[in-house]
Structure 1
Amino acid sequence: MAVSERKPLPFVANFAAGAIAGVSEILTFYPLGEVKTRMQLETGKSTSGLVGTFKNIVREEGVGRLYRGLVPPLLLEAPKRATKFAANDFWGKTYLRLTGQSKMTQELAILTGSSAGATESFVVVPFELVKIKLQDKASTFAGPMDVVRTIIRNDGLLGLYVGMESTFWRHLWWNAGYFGCIFKVREVLPKPETNKARLLNDLAAGTVGGFVGTAVNTPFDVVKSRIQGATKAPGVVPKYNWTYPALLTIVREEGPAALYKGFAPKVLRLAPGGGVLLLVVEFTLGLFRQALGPPYI
């Protein structure tokens, strides 16, 4: 059966593949996320850098601190990554149908990725908020549920969606860069003749996509961390509130380089992490095709 005659895999297959890939990625790269958040929450001129921040955490708080806040993103990772790849599959098919195109183009890949990121952002906000609160060096919370109870008690259920707007932009830009680059890199790489070559192409495309997505969205990630890490004071307007004004505030007070605080640990996680994500997703989808047989193979 020709590839073009394949029947699309069911939604549950894309959802499951994304979930498995997400958990694999976070268990491998989580400590870099802790270092990234610490660097982004540091206002003023950065003094420690990647290695210094890592050493300071281990020396002052112990190795275990590198995994503090792991539970929320671990619980989130399956639905988050599953939503990412399932939404990308859904929006890709939708845009192809609406535009009458027979195959994906660079422009549609970017639009599809942006839409998938916007969809994903609505799922991740509460989990991201809890993670940021736990990863803050000044955090006194006993654990994830303590954060949730405190937020709901002080701000109600909607308090769990603090940073929604900045999270929306962060995920929209990352997914646009990630899926847009995956399409382009796959296009320029030699056509794989074997399953192993195909998986290596996926690893390369995902790694490049992860790097570009990270380069594009890091300023929005810095703003999101500042918004979600802030402590509210009655009658005081938050310094960081809306994304684009907050970007200007950071540039004015700390310089343009401050928008890329935490970039090193972030890219060290998300470039290879993006490769691992795509590799595991495609490998898992391959297993589904084999298990389901024709017309999916």
Structure 2
Amino acid sequence: MSVSKDVKPLPFVYQFIAGAIAGVSEICTFYPLDVVKTRMQLERGQSPSLVKSFQNIVRQEGFARLYKGLVPPLLLEAPKRATKFAANDFWGKTFKQMTGSKEMTQSLSILTGCSAGATESFVVVPFELVKIRLQDKATTFKGPREVIKHIVRHEGILGLYNGMESTFWRHLWWNGGYFGTIFQVKAMLPKADTPKSQLLNNFISGTIGGFVGTAINTPFDVVKSRIQGTQRLPGVVPKYNWSYPALALIAREEGVRALYKGFVPKVLRLAPGGGVLLLVVEFTLGLFRKALGPPYI
């Protein structure tokens, strides 16, 4: 997100609110695709197609199952998205100061995005863990509270951070691809000279950024789902424990294609979702700037 030299950046609280509103908007629209994606990633061997997975869930478990585990992501989305955009803004300013660069560059955009993703990962792990346990077809948990109590009782409070390392890599690579692509695509699009064309550019660049980020980070998402979907037992070494060894293990046992399980529902969510995300963020920030007036507009 860039502003002209004459416009003062908005305070952190407005970045936070805009990111929160955008995150909640995106998840309410695309959540069923996330449920299907997780189911496909947890499958060993050949997993059903996107359409077949949807049909199986609705027919066998009811339509409401597509929204099972929605509470943790809803509770997470506000701080997660707010952290994403606020961290991106913070790291962007920091790296420009460190390098003496007055303008954002492609390499700085990627570095900024990766750093924002790494920052974001520390916020999301417990929520992601609870969501995965609820989305699993074999789950016996009735709600988030029951999952949390079970994890703390059997694994301790640190058990809520099971999958921290894989979540770190998932978010680092997605954000690097997302924000780096947005910078490049915006530079290639015709200059926006009206609010409508600006919103269109944001949607296009955000959608393409979402696709690229998803293509880069899906293998790490598969690994994260496998790690967080396995309940740890005392004295038993988990089959999937660390990201890069797990990537090699899955590729060896199930083939390289298995690293892209759930890619279709994931990209159907995160490509347009990335566009919606950026669109809502920029639109909301625009409203804030108008309401505050100079020097923010």
Q: TM-score range by the shorter chain?
A: over 0.9
Deviations 1:162-201 (A, max 9, x none): 0000000000000000000000000000001100000000
Q: Structure 1 stretch 3-12 or stretch 81-90: which is displaced more?
A: 3-12
Q: In the alignment, which residue of structure 1 is the partner of 2:75?
A: 75
For the 8 Å contact 2:155–2:232, the answer to whether it is kept is: no
Which residue of structure 2 aligns with residue 14 of structure 1?
Answer: 15
Instruction: After TM superposition, give the deviation of residue 285 of structure 1 in Å.
Output: 0.4
Q: In the TM superposition, what is the alpha-carbon distance from 1:4 to its structure 2 partner?
A: 1.2
Q: Distance in 1 between matches of 2:154 and 2:102?
A: 52
Partner of 1:251: 251
Residue 26 (structure 1) aligns with: 27
Preserved contact between residue 151 and residue 160 of structure 2 (Cα < 8 Å): yes
Runs of 4+ residues deviating >4 angstroms: none
Shift of 1:5: 1.6
How far apart are residue 142 of structure 1 and its match?
1.4
SS at match of 1:191: coil
Letter paired with 1:50:
L
| Structure-1 separation of matches of 2:95 and 2:14 | 20
SS in 1 for 2:5: helix
**Pairwise CA RMSD of aligned residues?**
0.8
Deviations 1:69-117 (A, max 9, x none): 0000000000000000000000001111111001000000000000000
Q: Deviations over 1:240-262 (max 9, x none)?
A: 00000000000000000000000
Partner residue of 1:54? 54
Task: After TM superposition, give the deviation of residue 234 of structure 1 in Å.
Answer: 2.8
Distance 2:281 2:38 in 1: 27
Tell me the SS of whatever aligns to 1:4: coil
What corresponds to 1:290 in structure 2? 290
Q: Distance in 2 between matches of 1:294 and 1:37?
A: 46
Native 8 Å contact 2:178 2:210 kept in 1: yes
Residue identity opposite 2:118 in structure 1: A
- Quote the offset at 1:232 in angstroms: 2.0
Counting only pairs closer than 5 Å after superposition, residues 223-234 of structure 1 correspond to structure 2 as 223-234=223-234
Is this contact kept in 1: 2:7–2:296, CA < 8 A? yes
Residue 70 of structure 1 aligns to which amino acid in structure 2? L
The structural deviation recorded for 1:49 is 1.1
> Displacement of 1:156 after TM fit?
1.0
Residue 231 of structure 1: CA displacement? 2.1
The 2-side partners of 1:262 and 1:273 are apart by 16
Q: In structure 2, what is the Cα distance between the partners aligned to 1:137 and 1:83?
A: 31
What amino acid does structure 1 have at the position aligned with 2:135?
A: Q
- 1:130 and 2:138 are equivalent in the alignment: no
Residue of structure 2 equivalent to 1:222: 222
Asked if 1:278 corresponds to 2:273, the answer is no
The residue aligned with 2:41 is 40
Partner of 2:140: 140
* Letter of the 2:36 counterpart: V
Moved more, 286-295 or 228-237: 228-237
- What are the within-5 Å matches in structure 2 for residues 196-215 of structure 1? 196-215=196-215
**Structure 2 partner of 1:4:** 5
Which one-letter code corresponds to 2:49 in the other structure?
G
* 1:155 and 2:167 aligned: no
**1:19-61 CA-partner distances (Å, limit 9, x unpaired):** 0000000000000000000000001222x11111110000000
Distance in 2 (CA, whole Å) between partners of 1:251 and 1:198 is: 42
SS of alignment partner, residue 3 of structure 1? coil
Partner of 2:265: 265
Which residue is 2:90 aligned to? 90
1:171: which partner in 2? 171
